[in-house]
A and B are shown apart, each in its own frame.
Chain A
Amino acid sequence: MSSEATNSSAGVEADRMAGAEPVPGSGKSDPILVADGVRRSFGGLTAVDVEHLEVQRGTITALIGPNGAGKSTLFNLLTGFDRVDRGTWTFEGVGINGRPGHRVARAGMVRTFQLTKALTRMTVLDNMLLGAQGQVGERMAGAFLRNVWAGQERANTRRALELLERFKLIDKRDEMAGALSGGQRKLLEMARALMTDPSMIMLDEPMAGVNPALVQSLLEHITSLRDEGKTVLFVEHDMDVIMGISDWIVVLAQGRVIAEGRPSDIRSNQQVIDAYLGAQEDDSAEARGSGDD
């Protein structure tokens, strides 16, 4: 990524982060997500051991770290897709630890997956409509009351079409999601997540397996989410991408937060360079090609 892009985002990031200290576990002025003592081990291996982590509202926060650092595990824990050994975390001031995944999503924290989960044998539009919340027709008894849910369905369809328009999938609305390309599936997954009207969106490697031409457009979509006031937390391998769009970067290694800060802080952090960037330069191709931990 060009240096101007980095600099321009550096210009505004100070404002968004409201002077947060670039040290591990630093406090934020307006945190949307606060995690304390989150720990998860598999057998004897401690995959995640995060003492304190805060995510600032309305920012793009990147979670980076070498393979096996526990990024995806932390993601799964925070979104209720895996169980913690111990630890608590609050989202918008409400404790959500121990809640199952669907209730975390209902609280407004929605996630995507590293291996894109498009519902392949359903149409793109049906994929989108699944994201809508509070549908009467999704209750078993409600399913028979077509008159009751038809109005809601029309409103949801309208919103889904607007989102498809924005993500340039409108022409594909009646096609099976399985017929989309890898990049289009990523877009669909992101649009579908937005359909739930989240306040925070967690993207697990949104660029993995996307052709370079589409990366720019995905980045624009992510930036525009922030500009609408949503909080974005994402895991990514590509350093150019991370440095270019992140307001804040959290570095994990061996399950712990070893550094936090603005892209400029991270770039010059010796610990990070040792743990991650050095390795990244050497086998970036491998890191991009093979998934994650």
Chain B
Amino acid sequence: MDIVSILAESTRSAFGPIAAIYALAAIGLNLHFGYTGLLNFGQVGFMLVGAYGVGISVAVFDLPLPVGFAVGLLCALVLALLLGIPTLRLRADYLAITTIAAAEVIRLVYRAGFAEPLTGGVYGLQNLADGFRVLNPFDGGERYGVGALSYNGNHMWVLVVTWGLVALMCGLVWMLMHSPWGRVIKGIREDEDAVRSLGKNVFAYKMQILVLGGLIGALAGCMLAVYQASIQPDQFKPQVTFFLWVILLLGGAGRVFGPVLGAMAFWFLMNFTDGLLRGMGSMGWFPFLQGPDYGAIQLAFVGVLLVVLIVFRPQGLIGDRKEMLINVK
């Protein structure tokens, strides 16, 4: 077992395109939950409609990539309105129930037989990245980076653009949350009746934040389609949403950089525990484990690490402990 190469590989994934994509989606979730207190358990649904917006536009209708992004974002806008209009007037738990169900329904519809002419059914869509790679200033065949932290040209391009979007969205979130608008949003998280009694239209604010966070989630989906160059419906299972929640809580909810640090730490941990377990397995420590068992054991291991984190550092990596400890209501 080569611990150094496991560490190097884990670090590489912490800065890689997937970590950036999850960071982006978690920024959206942070707007929902971290700042506003909206329980969105269907963030993956926004990623899905974003990814398929790109996929269907590019692969089926042969439209340029920017149109695909626009379609993906538009779908997310519609989805947010559909979810929000009936549930945002109700108690917070209704949104949670609705979002988790809606995300799963959307996945099942997109993979259904009748949708196959558009979505490719269970096989999904392929060849989605050409429009993106045309713009690639890097050479697809070369590797870029230093030492273990190197990526091929195509991935480097996705990585730069996605981390760029992450930086942009962090800036956006920072500006919004340091404005009177952000103050109303945080007020809603604390007690929406109090905010309503001060003359603020709470429903409109919650709708705005649901749309905004959903759009950012869809953007992450678009980048996922571009990064993989293909999409399948079954990669948008509910576990993606739970990974995003873990990322958010790990990094620190209600902090601008919480989702970013969370995503990096999460993917580092995922790859590190995976490498470690497999390394130990290859040395014959776990004779009772078969190949696929490692995945399950690894997830359990990550789960234990997270439990430890929640117990000893409930505010996440960069949350404010003082703020956490104030009894809510």
Contact = CB atoms under 8 A, between A and B. Distances in A.
B179 interface: yes
Contact of A144 (B179, B194, B198, B200): B179
A135 to B, nearest CB: 5
Interface in A191-225: 192-193, 195-196
Interface stretch (A88-96, A98-106, A244-252, A260-268): A98-106
Contacts of A142: 179-181
Interface string B187-227: 10111011111111110000010000000000000000000
Contact of A138 (B175, B180, B322, B328): B180
A172 to B, nearest CB: 14
B180 A113 contact: no
B290 to A, nearest CB: 48
Interface residues of B, number: 30
A121 B176 contact: no
Interface stretch (A3-11, A64-72, A122-130, A234-242): A122-130
Contacts of A179: 326
Interface string B156-185: 000000000000000000011001111110
Contact of A196 (B182, B198, B323): B198
Given A176-B322, A178-B327, A192 B179 contact: no
B198 A130 contact: yes
Given A120-B326, A120-B327, A120-B329, A79 B197 contact: yes
Nearest to B322: A176
A148 to B, nearest CB: 11
Interface string A49-81: 000000000000000000000000000000101
A155 interface: no
B186 interface: yes
Interface in B225-259: none
A35 B78 CA distance: 41
A136 B327 CA distance: 32
A285 interface: no
Contact of B181 (A103, A138, A196): A138
Interface of A: 79, 81, 100-103, 105-106, 110-113, 117-122, 126, 129-131, 133, 135-140, 142-144, 146, 149, 153, 176, 178-179, 189, 192-193, 195-196
- Which 7 residue pairs across A and B have the least CB separation, nearest first? A137-B180, A178-B326, A143-B179, A117-B194, A143-B181, A119-B190, A105-B199
5 contacts: A81-B193, A126-B187, A137-B180, A146-B175, A179-B326
Given A120-B326, A121-B186, 7 more contacts: A110-B197, A117-B197, A149-B180, A153-B180, A176-B323, A195-B198, A196-B198
